[in-house]
Amino acid sequence: MSSLPINPPPRLLMGPGPINADPRVLRAMSAQLVGQYDPAMTSYMNETMALYRSVFQTQNEQTLLIDGTSRAGIEAAIVSLVAPGDRVLVPIFGRFGHLLGEIAERAGAEVHVIEREWGTVFTEAEIERAIVATKPTLLAVVHGDTSTTAAQPLEGLGALCEKHGVLFYTDVTASLAGNTFAADELGLDAVTAGLQKCLGGPSGSAPATFSPRAVEVIESRKSIEAGIAGSADEIAASTDRRIRSNYFDLAMIFDYWGAKRLNHHTEATSMLYGARECARLLVEEGIENAVERHRLHGSAMLAGVGGLGLTVFGDLEHRMNNVVAVEIPAAVNGDAVRGELLTDFGIEIGTSFGPLHGKVWRIGTMGYNARKDAVLTTLASLEQVLRRHGAPVVGGGGVSAAYDVYQDAGAAA
């Protein structure tokens, strides 16, 4: 075993996430620990809740952090909202729709799916027909799926869910802070996210928000664990509908973050510092400004890969601002190009999964890396590696096309 200090190589992370964390977030995470019920700590918790209400654009009281990666947030939401036998509808248009379906199945739900070709999205009418046919308790939708770079339109789905008495959940891990999103305006009951993409932090904390309607469902399944219950009355007499996870039991987590300060777990203090700083920086920048920043640099990257002569994958009308999928040229070994880009230039771009494995690269412009220098450096480096591998690229075309986008944006400003 090596006893040397950790010393990561310098990398520019231009894949679909994680990205380079904002240095200000890393500095916040290096702050000293305090006890979980120290007044300073509970104050930070309250401030974090308020900040994420602004980030999610919600008035929900139950807006907090789930300790764990973005997948922890997904699992907490689904296992706490869905009892065994409940029906869940999942529209699948990429890898992460399959993930929502599997988590719901593991929670004992009767899962119904509708599927679209990867790179496309559903119409409102398609989703309504599925709701009418399956009569679900919960509609679970990925907002932006980085496996395809597509963003499912959410407008109108909240009204559909209200009309049919369905809870509405979405995972915004890949899209939050880089694309327009307003939880209350969209009629959402549950939303979960992660820090490692447009929020500019490390993976390990999952911001989440829950509507009063969702809270009512979760509270109806409440049972405090015996070792911390104030009385036997707080322990559910029947376990039939009790939330099947202790760690991800949102009813107890709500009490931990609330006035009761239930001793459910020990908060991941350093991650809370980081998550709080991610939200603070975003609110300081302005949500609309952050979305526009991602749109600008994402547009420059999109133009740049086109300028190189590469083909973009998927429905561009519904592409996320912060990631683009590029078809790998036929004569090129995609993994070899990625490897050389990493080894020689210190730049990471992503591959993909399932039906797109080995067929596309995914290039992100998100969070701290949604910057002009990062875009231009990536395009210039990619051109040189592609040339070495015999790809017919347009010399200087990538950087030139990106510059045109920036020039037009400057003129418009």
pLDDT of residue 347: 98
Torsion angle of the four alpha carbons 320, 323, 328, 333, in this order, in degrees rounded to the nearest 10? -150
Token pair 């418009």 is at which residue?
412
pTM of the model: 0.95
- The tens digit of pLDDT for each residue in 77-97 reads 999 999 999 999 999 999 999
111-116 long-range contacts (CB < 8 A, ≥24 apart) are: 111/87, 112/87, 112/88, 112/136, 113/89, 114/89, 114/90, 115/91, 116/91, 116/92
- pLDDT at residue 222, rounded to an integer: 92
Res 1 pLDDT > 80: no
pLDDT confidence of residue 159 = 97
Chain mean position to CA 10: 25
Q: Return the percentage of the chain with pLDDT > 70, whole number.
A: 99
CA distance 87 to 138: 7
Instruction: State the pLDDT at residue 380.
Output: 98
Compute the average pLDDT of residues 387-407.
96
Q: What is the reported pLDDT for 232? A: 79
245, 225 contact by CB (below 8 A): no
- What digits encode the pLDDT tens for the residues 285-300? 999 999 999 999 999 9
- Kindly report whether the peptide bond that precedes residue 18 is cis, defined as omega within 30 degrees of 0: yes
Asked if residue 342 has pLDDT above 80, the reply is yes
Q: Is pLDDT above 60 for 413?
A: no
pLDDT for the residue numbered 241: 84
Report, as an integer, the average pLDDT of 153-180.
98
State the chain's mean pLDDT as an integer: 96
Tens-digit pLDDT profile for residues 203-221: 999 999 999 999 999 999 9
Pick the closest to residue 87 from 112, 58, 51, 116 (CA basis).
112
* pLDDT reported for residue 39: 97
| Confidence band for 412, pLDDT divided at 50, 70 and 90 | low
Task: Give the pLDDT of residue 190.
Answer: 98
Q: Given pLDDT bands bounded at 50, 70 and 90, which one contains residue 237?
A: low
The answer for residues whose C-beta is within 8 angstroms of residue 145's C-beta and 6 or more apart is 93, 94, 95, 96, 97, 151, 152, 174
Q: How many residues does the chain have?
A: 413
